[in-house]
Every structure is written in C-alpha cells, then in structure tokens.
Amino acid sequence: MNPYSITAFKFATIVAFGGFIFGLDAALISGTVRYLVQDFNLTDLELGTVVSAPGFGVIFALLATGAICETIGRKKTLIIIAALYVVSAIASVIAPSYETLVAARFLGGLAFTSLSLASMYIGEIAPAHMRGKLVSMNQITIVVGLTAAYMSNYFLLELTKTDISWVADLGINDNLWRWMLGIEVLPAILWLIMLFTIPESPRWLISKNKLDEAKSTMKKLMPEHEIDAEIESVQASLNHHTANSKQSFMSRINDLLDVKVRAALMVGFIFAIVQPITGVNAILFYAPMVFEQTGVGTSAAFGQTLIIGFVSLFFTVLALLLIDKVGRRPLVIVGLLWSVASLFLCVWAFKSAVYTIEPTAVAGLISAVEGINVDSLNAIISTTYHSDIEFKQALIANQGADLVRTFESEFIQSAITINSWAVLIGIVGFIAAFHLSIGPIMWVVFSEIVPTHIRGIVIPMFALTASIVSFFIQKFFPWQLSNQGAADIFLFYGIAGGVGLILLARYLPETKNKTIEEIEVLLAKKSKRSVKNQATEQQVVEPQP
C-alpha cells in the first residue's frame, strides 16, 4: 500500500474499533443473566428489560444522530458516542439497583449508532479502490467484539472456581457480573482517546466551506495534485444534494409513494423484519441461558458460547469474501434455508426432550441448590414431564418461583434427557448461516436498492424497523422461555425465517456488479409489473357490465 492508503487504513481502523466496543457491549450481558436474577430478584420481564435496554436506546438515537453529525461533524459525534460507551460501562459496573442498571444500559444504547456513523466516516475518507474493504472492517470488529465478550465471560467464570488468592481479594467471586460488564471499560476509554487522533471528514469540512482544513486533511489521504479536482467533485455532489433536499415534505412523501420505488421499499422492509425476527439477538444476548436449557450446566454453557463466537467470526469473513463473487441473492437464499433447517433441528430436539428427577439425582440437587425443600421434592421424584414448561410449572408449585428462577439450570441439568448435540449443532448452524447471509448482507442490500433521491429518508426507516423488531425479540425472550418453552420459541423463529425465505426468494434481485442506477431501473420494472398484474387480476375478478 502507498502512504495514502496506509493513512486511510489507520484512520478506518481507529473508527472501526467502535464496532469492537459494540460487540463487547452486546454480548457481555449474556454472561451476567443468572447473576442479575439472583442479585436483584428479577422477573422475566425485568430481565428482558435489562438486556434489551440498549436496543430501546438506539431507537431514539437513530432519530437524532444524523442531524447531530451534520451539525457538529463526524469526529465530534464519534467522540460523544465513545464517551457514552465509557459512562455507560462504568455506570453498569457500579449500578446499585435494577433501575440504575437499566438506565446505564439505555445510555449505552444511545451509542449504538456508532455502527452507521463509522461506516459513513470510513466511506468519506477511504480511497475508492479501498472503500468496500475498509467499510467491511466494521462488521469484522463487531464479531471480534462478540467473541472477546464470550471468551472473557468464560475466563472470569472459570477463575471463580480456582483457589487463587487474588481472585478472592479482587472480589470476583462475589461480584462476577460486575467484573464481566467491567471488561468494556478499558477498551471504551482507549477508543475515546484514539478518536482524538483522527481528522474530521473532509467531505463534512467542504460542506461547511472549511476548505483550508479540508485540504489539510486530504493531503494525508491523496496526492496533492488531485485535491482540487476532488473538492470540485464533492462540491458538485453537495450542490446537487442541497437542491434535492429543498423539496417540500409532501414532495418527499410523493417520492415514497411512487410506484417505481415500491419494490425497493418492499424488499428493504422484508429484510429489516426478517433479519432480527429469526431470533439471532435472543441467541447471542442470552447464549448461556439458551445452552443451559439443554442441561449441560453453567460452565459448559459458557464454554459453548465460545463456539458461537468463533463460528460468527469465520462465517462473517467468508461472507465478505464471497459476496462479490457468488452474489447477494444466492447467499441470502442458501443462508435462510440453512437457518430454517437449523432452527427446526432445535425444535425437534426440545420437542423430544423429557424431564425426570430420578432418586439418584437428589443428592446432587441438595448440594447444588441452596434452600431446596427436600420433603416437598419427594412429591415429584420419578415423575416424567414431556416439556420444559410442564416441568418448570411443577417445580414452581413444588419449590417456589424464586428458588426455581435462581437455580433453573441446576434443576434442568438434574432432570433432562435430550439430544444436546442436536441443539448445539442447530444453534451453531443457525449462527453460521446468519453471519454468512442476512447478517452482513442486509446492510449491503440497503445501500444498493434505495434510489439516491430517497436514500436519506428510507435507509434510516429500514434501520429503525430492524431496531424495533430486535428490541421486542430481546425484551420478551425470558418471558417466552418461561411461558412458551424453548421448542415453541425456536418454532416461531423457524416459521418467521421460512416466510422471509419465500418472500426474499420471490422479490430480492441480484445486485452484484450493478450500479445504483441499474438496480433502480431493475426494481422499477418489478414494481410496474406488479402493478400491472394487480390491475389485470382486478379486471378478471370484477363483474363486467
């Protein structure tokens, strides 16, 4: 690489490090779930609120971040976002109550817009021949952050099982969940410091007529003799954008109602709903809890999350290598087929599971479950239950809701008979398929299918839709697990993925090697054909005079 490419790579790496913080923030919470329930005596909905609080915060942030970064610049907005991560991480560690923890995590959710802003900044400073690769760094760093979170959670859990003196001295045994969340603090501070070393986006500086500052930055990114021509090109683009942005509100609404963009809107909204509704964030954010439902125990459940992390990383890299060779449409269709098959494998495994506390398991339960009522337990010994819901309800009636909620993993481990390998293969297969297809490809498709004149309105609408669906999936997962059971949850995700597969197989065009304008024409033709077919069907149905 030449010196200009190296400089662009350095700035992009610093900004993309925010994806690592996002991945940490999103996945660290998965290891704290059972300990939060114990410390704060949380109900299922309260637990869902803690986990989903960042997802709720990002909904509000999406509405404001665009205006903020246009007003004060990309760099300052990124610095504010990094500061929010730092404050949120520290506040989460020291949170004295459920309410303050929710507030701290909500604050962190306001910083989740770092993903879209980082992509914007990198796209504006990267040389054209490096733009795709540098922007894709954001996706890689997210998955690296997820993997690091699972690794740190597992490492901290294993430390509590040792006799190392400094583990007890630091209070890791008594404050395990706080140490898990605290892992984010130092990387967040590091990112905040590094952001002060990057320049402001030259495109934003030009838009504010700060040409001297823009030229100073551009000298680091391109040969000096190319700068004037680049500035003229940016100014021409900005003038065109400004002219278009002066349209009235009703004119913009009319653009959205134009029949020629109907197919683009339909594909975008289908994608925005299908990607989160297949349950990926429920699995990622509650990974140990999900694996504990198979009876492997807490330690093994944390260990299995490491598989999720490494599989996510491998298949994300594979997707980025294949997307321009194989194409978007084949990867999406194959990925969704694989996802649905994996989810239904989980359904079969949980539907086949039975739960029986044998007399030989009682001693182990007494030693593992503090406060168990042995006399009451005798009433359900050797009784076979054919679903997790049936078993948990019997336990609650026998031992009380608080004890069962706190020691759910231990009770399940003592009673379940299940093909745990089928569940592991199903979940890992789903994660692999997601990261090969609809995970990273959704954002690529959004950037390609939306016509230029409505891009500023429509892409945020897609992002908001995906965020709202994701929030509800995260929020209600613990409640669903207690009231519907694992089999029905995975059945819902599988059916949702199947419907999404049918719709995207029908409407998603192949956009590989096509310009934005060519894709716009292709989708406009699809929209017109759809309208024509509807009109023909209406004429056939309506009685003729």
Place of tokens 């339909």: 266
R_g of the chain, CA atoms, integer Å? 26
What's the mean per-residue pLDDT of the chain?
86
Residue labelled with tokens 């096509």: 514
Q: Give the pLDDT score at 66.
A: 76
In Å, how far are 32, 149, 217, 287, 486 from 290, measured between CA atoms? 13, 16, 49, 5, 8
Distance in angstroms (rounded) separating the CA atoms of residues 461 and 255: 14
H or E, element range at 425: helix 420-436
pLDDT grade for 125, boundaries at 50, 70 and 90: confident
Res. 50: pLDDT tops 90 = yes
Cα–Cα distance list, 261 to 10, 161, 234, 521, 531 (Å)? 38, 59, 27, 9, 12
Q: Confidence class of residue 256 from pLDDT cuts 50, 70 and 90?
A: low
- Structure tokens of 245? 């942005």
Query: What is the average pLDDT across 375-392?
Result: 92
User: Which amino acid belongs to residue 279?
Assistant: G
Identify the top-confidence range among 145-159, 448-462, 517-531: 145-159
Least confident of 184-193, 365-374, 510-519: 510-519
Long-range contacts formed by 74-78: CB under 8 A, 24+ apart:
74/117, 74/120, 74/121, 74/124, 74/200, 74/201, 74/204, 75/121, 75/195, 75/198, 75/199, 75/200, 75/201, 76/200, 77/117, 78/15, 78/18, 78/114, 78/117, 78/118, 78/121, 78/195, 78/198
Total residue length of the chain: 545
pLDDT digits (tens, 9 = 90+) for 185-201: 999 999 999 999 999 98
Reduce the secondary structure of 335-364 to three states and give it as a string: HHHHHHHHHHHHHHHHHHCEEECCHHHHHH
Burial of 285 (0-12, 13-18, 19+ CB in 10 A): buried
The C-alpha atoms of residue 222 and residue 206 are separated, in whole angstroms, by 16
Question: Which alpha helices (H) appear in 160-258, and where do they start and end?
Answer: 165-169, 176-182, 185-195, 202-207, 211-218, 227-245, 249-257
| Residues forming a β-bridge with 384 | 356
Predicted confidence at residue 545, as pLDDT, reads 43
Per-residue pLDDT at 340: 96
How far is 473 from 334, CA to CA, in rounded Å? Answer: 24
Rounded CA separation 263/300 (Å): 46
Reported as a pLDDT band with limits 50, 70 and 90, residue 497 is very high
For residues 328 and 445, the answer to whether their CB atoms sit within 8 Å is yes
* Amino acid at site 89: A
pLDDT, position 233: 77
pLDDT-based confidence at residue 502 (cuts at 50, 70, 90): very high
- Between residues 346 and 124, which one has the greater pLDDT? 346
Residue 250: count other Cβ atoms within 10 Å of its Cβ.
8
Q: Are 124 and 11 in contact (CB under 8 A)?
A: no
Confidence at 115, pLDDT banded by 50, 70, 90: confident
Tell me which DSSP letter residue 484 carries: T
Determine contact, residues 273/500, Cβ cutoff 8 Å: yes
Mean pLDDT, to the nearest integer, of 284-310? Answer: 89
The helix (run of H) or strand (run of E) holding residue 323 is none
- H or E stretch at 43: none
Residue 324 pLDDT: 79
Residue 322: pLDDT band with limits 50, 70, 90: confident
Comparison of pLDDT for 493 and 263, the residue scoring more: 493
State the burial class of residue 244 (Cβ atoms within 10 Å of its Cβ: 0-12, 13-18, 19+): middle
pLDDT of residue 470: 92
Between 135 and 49, where is the model more confident?
A: 49
Angstrom distance (rounded) from CA 90 to CA 242: 41
Q: Which helix (H) or strand (E) holds 374?
A: helix 374-377
For residue 187, CA distances in Å to 19, 94, 245, 306 come to 11, 17, 39, 20
Q: What is the pLDDT of residues 4-39, one digit of tens each?
A: 888 888 998 999 999 999 999 889 999 999 899 989
pLDDT of residue 455: 61
What local confidence, expressed as pLDDT, does residue 100 receive? 96
Residues 201, 202, 206, 210: what is their CA dihedral angle, to the nearest 10 degrees? 90
Confidence of residue 220 (pLDDT cuts 50, 70, 90): confident
Per the CB < 8 A criterion, the answer to whether 398 and 380 are in contact is: yes
Identify the pLDDT of residue 299. 86
Distance CA 529, CA 524 (A): 9
Report how far residue 19's alpha carbon sits from residue 146's, in angstroms, rounded to the nearest whole number: 10
Which pLDDT score is estimated for 79? 94
- Out of 101-105, 161-165, 267-271, the most confident range is 101-105
